[in-house]
């Protein structure tokens, strides 16, 4: 009933993390789990918009932390 393992979706996990430079200026890195950093953004909202852009292009479920 209902559970067909061949239709199992893959969850793509992304993380947005803050980073400070030597002058304590903040920026935000976005990365996919188990991969290298895919982008650095000055504002959190820009990093979040990048996640939305990426997630709209995939057929898999996505989550961001």
State mean pLDDT over 16-27: 95
Does the pTM surpass 0.85? The reply is: no
Question: In this structure, is residue 7 part of a structural domain?
Answer: no
Q: How many CA atoms lie within 13 A of 54 on its CB side?
A: 19
* pLDDT, position 65: 93
Domain, as residue range, for 37: 13-64
Q: For 46, phi and psi rounded to 5 degrees? A: -65, -40
* pLDDT, position 43: 95
* pLDDT, position 1: 46
Question: In this structure, is residue 23 part of a structural domain?
Answer: yes
> Percentage of the chain with pLDDT > 90?
71
pLDDT category at 6 given cuts 50, 70, 90 is low
Question: In this structure, is residue 3 part of a structural domain?
Answer: no
Q: Are 38 and 52 in contact (CB under 8 A)?
A: no
* pLDDT, position 9: 67
């Amino acid at each position: 009933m209902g559970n067909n393992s061949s239709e199992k979706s893959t969850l793509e996990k992304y993380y947005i993390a803050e980073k400070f430079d030597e002058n304590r200026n903040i920026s935000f890195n976005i990365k996919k789990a188990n991969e290298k950093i895919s982008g650095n953004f000055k504002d959190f909202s820009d990093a979040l918009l990048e996640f939305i852009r990426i997630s709209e292009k995939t057929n898999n479920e996505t989550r961001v932390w």
